[in-house]
Amino acid sequence: MLMLPTVMQAQIGDHRNDLSIGFCGGYVMSNVGFTPKVTQDSHIGITFGLSMRYTCEKYFNTICSIAAEVNYARIGWKESILTTDDQPVINPTTGIAEAYQRDLDYIQVPIFAHLAWGREQKGMQFFFKAGPQFGYLISEKTKTNFSYDNRNTADRSNQTAEQYNMPVENKFDYGIAAGMGVEYSHPKVGHFLLEGRYYYGLGNIYGDSKRDYFAKSNHSNIVVKLTYLFDVIRSK
């Protein structure tokens, strides 16, 4: 038993030292989880930015990497202002259906553990990624066709309206993101990645103490993104 370690070797992965950088862009479908509830449709925005990936190991069939991005993203919420019969609420002053949308512009930094399976050098592979994401609000804008004082309160099925006059209180945002997708790689062209991603915010945009109105006001995003990476350092 004492001699056994001298004839054994630990199972380790195939080392990599690959660095790729590039850019990414796509669409974001977002909303804010309010408590009390605010009825919403999906807010559609855009996202784009810089991307990098460092591949450190291939363990059996799994290609292990660390990926990070610095993105601009327009997210927020778009309200669905309906009656109890699911009809649009008509404003008594303007005579048109009431509409409200808040655009929130963020700088976001997600950091992922990136695991992939398939052809590494030339061909297709499937990947899964997950990790934390941090964001900072740089601007906000309201799009509406009515004012707080002249809104139709008689016909609304959802009466929550305190958010109309409340700017975002907590500009720093954080949460967890995860996604999956496919990648095509070619040694002379680079890497093309198509993915779907989900982000769940762990922080609230408004105060959540007992004296605050909203107990919860966190972001929720679905992202569809295309990324292009080219190799800066390649070990093979």
Domain 18-118+125-183+201-233 has CATH 2.40.160: yes
- Domain-by-domain residue ranges, the chain? 18-118+125-183+201-233
Give the pLDDT of residue 3.
53
- Tokens read off for 137: 């609000």
Residue 8 confidence class, pLDDT cut points 50, 70, 90: very low
User: Using alpha carbons only, how large is the chain's radius of gyration in Å?
Assistant: 23
pLDDT at 234: 85
Question: pLDDT (tens digit, 9 = 90+) per residue, 199-211?
Answer: 999 999 999 999 9
pLDDT tens sequence across 66-121: 999 999 999 999 999 999 999 999 999 999 999 999 999 999 999 999 999 999 88
Q: Is the pLDDT of residue 1 over 70?
A: no
| Distance between CA atoms of residues 90 and 100, nearest Å | 13
**DSSP letter for each residue of 121-143:** SSEEEEEEEEEEEEEEEEEEEEE
Mean pLDDT of the chain: 93
Instruction: List, for residues 11-35, the tens digit of each pLDDT value.
Output: 567 888 899 999 999 999 999 999 9
Token couple for 22: 């590039």
Instruction: List C-alpha distances in Å: 105 to 73, 102, 112.
Output: 6, 10, 22
DSSP-assigned states of every residue in 223-236: EEEEEEEEEEE---
Residue 9 has pLDDT above 60, yes or no: no
Question: How many residues can be counted in the chain?
Answer: 236
User: So what's the pLDDT on residue 159?
Assistant: 93
Over residues 56-73, the pLDDT tens digits come to 999 889 999 999 999 999
Q: Tell me the two tokens of residue 207.
A: 């105060």
Give the integer Cα–Cα distance in Å for 31 and 80: 11
Q: How far apart are CA 33 and CA 35, in angstroms?
A: 7
pTM above 0.85, yes or no: yes
